[in-house]
Amino acid sequence: MTGSEFLSRSAEETIAMGRQLAGRLNPPVLVLLSGDLGAGKTIFAKGIVSGLGAGKEEEVTSPTFTLVHVFHNHFKVYHVDLYRVEGFHDLETLALEDVLAEPAVVVVEWAERLSLRTDWPSVHVLLEHVDDNTRRITIS
């Protein structure tokens, strides 16, 4: 599947794109975010979570420390960060199988480290640095 490509020129635009994507998401779905440090993965996740009405933008922070944040609307929205995850055993301790036990929206940062098998539909979002304020966002 070919992706649609967008240019974001500010954090606000990246949040707006996350909100737009949120409008097309129906649980169960995985949103897999990839991109370098500072590419805007957490910012994009702010848009998704707030667009789903599950939390406020300012409540969505980096989950690097606790690895999984949970938000609620009619369904659960998980915000997962795999920055520190090394290998399969770590994924087991995140209890992602439990996360996937009921329909939810699961947003995963550093998704390239995810080796979990699931039949859930998924959306891939790649965020790339273009310059200081500009990011290329590819959704596929």
Contact residues toward another protein (CB under 8 A) are 36-38, 42-43, 57-58, 61-62, 64-70, 83-86, 89-90, 92-95, 129, 132
Query: Residue 90 Cβ, how far from another protein at the closest point, in Å?
Result: 5
Query: Residue 20 Cβ, how far from another protein at the closest point, in Å?
Result: 19
In this structure, are residues 110 and 94 in contact, taking their beta carbons and an 8 Å threshold? no
Nearer to another protein, 3 or 59 (CB): 59
Distances (CA, A) of 41 to 71, 98, 99, 109, 132: 17, 24, 20, 6, 15
**Dist CA 94 CA 110 (whole Å):** 14
Four-residue CA torsion sign, 1, 88, 117, 37: negative
Nearer to another protein, 65 or 121 (CB): 65
Query: Residue 119 Cβ, how far from another protein at the closest point, in Å?
Result: 25
